[in-house]
């Protein structure tokens, strides 16, 4: 009989699903309470608005989660979003076809991710440092490119996309599904997903088992950069401008969503549905606070407190079980 094998460890996947369900319950609870407390919350308009607000952070949080699972962190995502709005705005205004402009912007995101991978794998820099460096540099490059001005995008068909809906659901939310489903399959049903977890758990053991650790790290940061650039495109469409100072502090919201969604900052623990739910919980709190006329300064404090509470209870439950 092996003693240590006892502490009724449920299979991890079940546990993840369970945690996902409690988060979903929390989200539903918030919605019910807010519907009762304010007349406007449950209106179609507000829900659509809420989904738009949450979508962009949700997509960033998915990319961020890949990185955190490997035991890293990507602080640059907010800056990548801002930078991507500039790139896509300039391309469209220069007459590049919209599809091509979007593709090029996404490739810029990929390039930034590859650069992070290079800095970590080849130069041996800690992820925190290399992505912090890009965070500040990208903002600077964007400001240089625009001379500090905003670029108005002169394409209605591009900006219309973010306002429109498809079968009653805002297009932006469809984008979450567009990213979320392949991300789920990638993380939970492909071997590259398994490698993300194994590298985050023990890089040396993975390496000795034949896992290409360097490629796995490149992949995580590339996907995070790609998700952020994609969000940049969506944001540009939504606000109709390219501005390098947009999305200030979004990296922290993405990280918070991921952590609320059960991702461990120590690596090797995380899912795709968790950060998605986390992002919409945060969006709901902000939306609800607005409707309840809570001072926006208080909103930040509440968000902070909530992160502490949710992660604390998650930690308790992990230790308890």
Partner 1 sequence: MTPTAQELHPAPMLEPGRTILELRGLEKRYPGTHALKPVNLAFKSGEIHAIVGENGAGKSTLIKLLTGVMPRTSGDVIWEGKPAALATPHEAMALGINAVHQEVVLCRHLTVAANMFLGEEESRFGILQQRAMVRQAQTIIDDLGFDLPAHVVLGDLTIGQQQLIAAARATVRGTKFLIFDEPTAYLTRKEADQLFTLIRRLKSEGVTIIYISHRMEEVFELADRVSVLRDGTLVGTRTIAETNDAELVKMMINRSIEQVYHKEHFTPGAAIVEARNLSGKGFEDISMTVRAGEIVGLYGLIGAGRSEFVTSLYGRHRRSAGQILWEGRPVQINSEHDAIKLGMALAPESRRDQGLCLNLPVGLNLNLPIYKRISNNLLISNAKEKAEADRQIAGLRIKTPTRGALASSLSGGNQQKIVIGKWLAHGAKLFIFDEPTVGVDVGTKAEIYRLFGELLSKGAGIILISSYLPEVYELADTLHVFRRGKLVATHGFHTASHEDILTQALAEKQEKMGGQT
* Total number of residues that touch partner 1 (CB under 8 A): 35
* Category of 165 on φ-ψ map: left (φ > 0), alpha (ψ -120 to 50) or beta: beta
Distance from chain centroid for Cα 135: 16
Minimum separation from the CB atom of position 113 to partner 1 (A): 21
The reply to whether 212 sits near partner 1 by the rule CB under 8 A is yes
Among 25, 169, 185, 301, binds partner 1 (CB under 8 A): 185
Segment contacting partner 1 by CB under 8 A, of 59-67, 129-137, 185-193, 288-296: 185-193
Q: Which residue lies nearer to partner 1 by CB, 127 or 267?
A: 267
Among 94, 99, 189, 249, binds partner 1 (CB under 8 A): 189
The reply to whether 202 sits near partner 1 by the rule CB under 8 A is yes
Q: Rounded to whole angstroms, how far apart are CA atoms 224 and 254?
A: 11
Q: Rounded to whole angstroms, how far apart are CA atoms 200 and 13?
A: 17
The reply to whether 263 sits near partner 1 by the rule CB under 8 A is no
Contact 106, 233 (CB under 8 A): yes
Strands (E), the chain: 151-152, 165-166, 169-170, 241-242
Among 167, 191, 295, 308, binds partner 1 (CB under 8 A): 191
Minimum separation from the CB atom of position 146 to partner 1 (A): 40
Segment contacting partner 1 by CB under 8 A, of 12-20, 52-60, 242-250, 254-262: 12-20
Contact 57, 303 (CB under 8 A): no
The reply to whether 181 sits near partner 1 by the rule CB under 8 A is no
Single out the residue of 80, 111, 288 nearest to residue 88, CA to CA. 80
The reply to whether 124 sits near partner 1 by the rule CB under 8 A is no
Q: Which residue lies nearer to partner 1 by CB, 2 or 147?
A: 2
Q: Rounded to whole angstroms, how far apart are CA atoms 302 and 26?
A: 16
Q: Rounded to whole angstroms, how far apart are CA atoms 233 and 240?
A: 10
Query: In the numeric block, which tokens belong to residue 177?
Result: 């599904």
Q: Rounded to whole angstroms, how far apart are CA atoms 101 and 89?
A: 8
Query: In the numeric block, which tokens belong to residue 99?
Result: 């599809």
The reply to whether 14 sits near partner 1 by the rule CB under 8 A is yes
The reply to whether 43 sits near partner 1 by the rule CB under 8 A is no
The reply to whether 197 sits near partner 1 by the rule CB under 8 A is yes
Among 126, 169, 190, 309, binds partner 1 (CB under 8 A): 190
The reply to whether 8 sits near partner 1 by the rule CB under 8 A is yes
Residues of this chain that interact with partner 1 (CB under 8 A) are 1-14, 185, 189-191, 194-195, 197-198, 201-202, 204-212, 268-269
């Amino acid at each position: 009989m092996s003693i240590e094998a006892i502490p009724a460890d449920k299979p991890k996947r079940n546990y993840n699903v369970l945690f996902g369900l409690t988060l979903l319950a929390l989200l539903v609870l918030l919605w019910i309470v807010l519907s009762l407390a304010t007349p406007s919350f449950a209106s179609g308009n507000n829900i659509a608005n809420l989904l738009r607000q949450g979508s962009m952070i949700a997509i960033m949080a998915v990319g961020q989660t890949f990185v955190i699972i490997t035991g890293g962190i990507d602080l640059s995502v907010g800056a990548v979003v801002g930078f991507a709005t500039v790139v896509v705005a300039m391309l469209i205004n220069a007459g590049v076809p919209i599809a091509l402009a979007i593709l090029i912007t996404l490739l810029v995101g990929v390039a930034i991710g590859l650069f992070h991978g290079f800095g970590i794998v080849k130069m041996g820099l800690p992820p925190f440092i290399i992505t912090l460096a890009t965070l500040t540099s990208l903002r600077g490059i964007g400001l240089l490119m625009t001379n500090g001005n905003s670029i108005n995008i002169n394409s209605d068909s591009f900006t219309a996309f973010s306002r429109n809906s498809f079968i009653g659901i805002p297009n932006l939310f469809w984008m979450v599904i567009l990213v979320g489903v392949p991300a789920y399959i990638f993380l939970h049903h492909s071997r590259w997903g398994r490698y993300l977890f194994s590298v985050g758990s023990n890089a040396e053991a993975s390496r000795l088992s034949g896992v290409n650790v360097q490629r796995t790290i490149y992949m995580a940061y590339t996907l995070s950069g790609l998700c952020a650039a994609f969000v940049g495109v969506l944001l540009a469409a939504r606000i109709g401008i390219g501005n390098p100072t947009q999305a200030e502090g979004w990296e922290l919201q993405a990280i918070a969503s991921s952590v609320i969604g059960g991702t461990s900052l120590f690596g090797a623990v995380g899912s795709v549905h968790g950060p998605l739910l986390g992002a919409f919980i945060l969006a709901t709190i902000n939306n609800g606070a607005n409707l309840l006329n809570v001072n926006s300064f208080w909103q930040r404090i509440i968000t902070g407190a909530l992160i502490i509470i949710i992660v604390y209870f998650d930690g308790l439950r992990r230790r308890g079980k």
